[in-house]
Amino acid sequence: MEVLGFLLAGISMSLFAYNARRLRRDHGIRALLAPVDTEAEIALHVANHAATSRDQQLAPLHVLYGLVQDETFIAALRRIGVDVEQLDSALLDELERFDGTASSSEPYHADNAPFAVVTARVYARHHGRDATVADLWQALSKSRAAELVGVPAARVGFALIHGEAEPRAALPGETAVHVILRNDDYTTFEFVMAILRDVFGLSDAAAQAVTTATHKDGRAIVGRFDVASAKQKVEAAWARARAERFPLWVGVEVC
């Protein structure tokens, strides 16, 4: 698990706002597209077209609309039971009603979109890769626009990043199971440590060892629990991850 916050600690919000304004003024969407992969680039082109064709400033609403045209994003939504056609129709209705001069207190304020794209770039750059559709979603997940999907943002991120819905919290016929933790690029070291201490009862040293092993090896065993206890703890961890919009993968397997 990576600590992403330190990358932003030395950069003031005013500098981010200045950079976003400069990028938009000097190069527009092309400057923001440079470090993204093909799918994310297409999603952002769709978003930009949805805005410019309506004479609107680019907003999170437009970026979400672009994502919903992407096959990878569509597949993730369908894995968790989202009606993609209904969502697409709802987004088109919102776009037609969108006021491009919305104030910063209103749901889809334009200034949030360039910042979200910059944030996606920071995620990706830190991990030495181009920004992806998953990066764009994670950057948008705390926006009001993301609420239009109708399910917790962390569930969408989980399906998108891990390629599956959340794993089982219990296994039928078993009396005891191992709880397993898997790595991702978005859930912070501090959050995982807190989950391991508060939910699974690990000491600070044990929590740090499991978190480090997860980051290094891609997965780690949290511990062995009876089925009822494992189910309760895994579901509690999911609830906290959803509340913080982290795509935490924690599940069970046979000992």
Tokens 């092309």 -> residue: 30
Q: What is the per-residue pLDDT for 100?
A: 62
pLDDT of residue 31: 43
pLDDT digits (tens, 9 = 90+) for 17-76: 444 444 344 344 444 444 789 999 999 999 999 999 999 888 899 999 999 999 999 999
Q: What is the pLDDT of residue 251?
A: 94
Q: What is the pLDDT of residue 230?
A: 94
Model confidence pLDDT, tens digit, residues 97-119: 887 654 444 455 545 687 788 88
- Where residue 97 falls (left for φ over 0; alpha for ψ -120 to 50; beta otherwise) is alpha
Alpha carbon 82 to its chain centroid, in Å, reads 16
Specify the range with the lowest mean pLDDT, choosing from 9-18, 129-138, 202-211: 9-18
Farthest-apart Cα atoms in the chain, separation: 62
CA–CA dist 146, 134 (Å, integer): 13
pLDDT of residue 22: 45
Structure confidence at residue 109 (pLDDT):
53
DSSP letters, 77-136, are: HHHTT--HHHHHHHHHHHHHH--TT--TTSTT-TTHHHHHHHHHHHHHHHTTS-B-HHHH
CA dist 124 → 121, 166, 172, 190, 233 (Å): 5, 23, 39, 20, 31
Residue burial 144-158, b: 16+ Cβ < 10 Å; e: rest: ebbebbeebbbbbbb
Closest residue by Cα to residue 153 from 233, 226, 89, 73:
73
Cα distances (angstroms) measured from residue 91 to each of 58, 79, 175 = 14, 20, 46
- Residue 73: strand, helix, or coil: helix
What pLDDT, on the 0 to 100 scale, is given for residue 142?
Answer: 85
pLDDT digits 0-9 by tens, 128-179: 889 999 999 999 998 889 999 999 999 999 999 999 988 888 788 878 999 9
Query: What pLDDT is stored for residue 127 in this prediction?
Result: 83
Buried b (16+ CB within 10 A) or exposed e, 23-50: bbeeeebebbbebbeebbbbbbebbbeb
